[in-house]
Amino acid sequence: MVGFAVYIFVVAGKRTAFDVVRRLGREMTDVEEGTAWGVPALRYGGRVICCTAAHKDAEPGSLVVMLSFDQRDALVEEEPDVYYLKPHYVGHPCVVVRLARVRDDALRDLLLTAQRFVSNNGTRKPLKPAAVGRLSGHARRTSPGKARRTRHRR
């Protein structure tokens, strides 16, 4: 529990759905709590393990957990009432979890799997050497393997 900072997100004096995730995160080695995209998140080695689903398409009380595409597809197929996807999340290595429907032991296992995933694979594919040069300066990544130059107006 090295460096575990506590951020409290309270809605009108009530506990949030993320409280269970926070408790499970405290039990994990080297996991830190913080934010990602403006919402509560757990990180391992600076990489997001999970965060509250912030996209407008996600159901309230959902959690986004980083996983491989294969693991995600298997979970959604096996338990669609617990795990789901929305179009926004399809291209990302993650699954969306309905926190009200997942058991604590299953969520603990899922978070440990996510921790292994981000520590082994990270959440992004490494850039090819040729792409690194193209992305210097004012270039920005728009989709896998492509870079787009942006102009800054004064």
pLDDT digits (tens, 9 = 90+) for 97-124: 999 999 999 999 999 999 999 998 644 4
Nearest-CA neighbor of 108 among 38, 13, 23? Answer: 23
How wide is the angle at C-alpha 144 spanned by C-alphas 140 and 146, nearest 5°? 50
**Which of the two residues, 46 and 133, has the higher pLDDT score?**
46
Residue 15's pLDDT band (cuts 50, 70, 90): low
| Cα–Cα dist 106/100, whole Å | 12
CATH topology of domain 18-123: Aspartate Aminotransferase, domain 1 (3.90.1150)
pLDDT digits (tens, 9 = 90+) for 61-103: 999 999 999 999 999 999 999 999 999 999 999 999 999 999 9
Does residue 153 register a pLDDT over 70? no
Residues with Cβ within 8 Å of residue 36, at least 6 apart in sequence = 43, 48, 51
Question: What is the average pLDDT score of the chain?
Answer: 78
Instruction: Flag whether pLDDT at 144 surpasses 80.
Output: no
Q: Residue 17: its pLDDT value, please?
A: 78
pTM for the whole thing? Answer: 0.70
Please give the helix or strand (H or E) that residue 12 lies within, else none: none
Residues 30 and 2: beta-carbon distance below 8 Å:
yes
**CATH 3.90.1150.30 domain span(s) along the chain:** 18-123
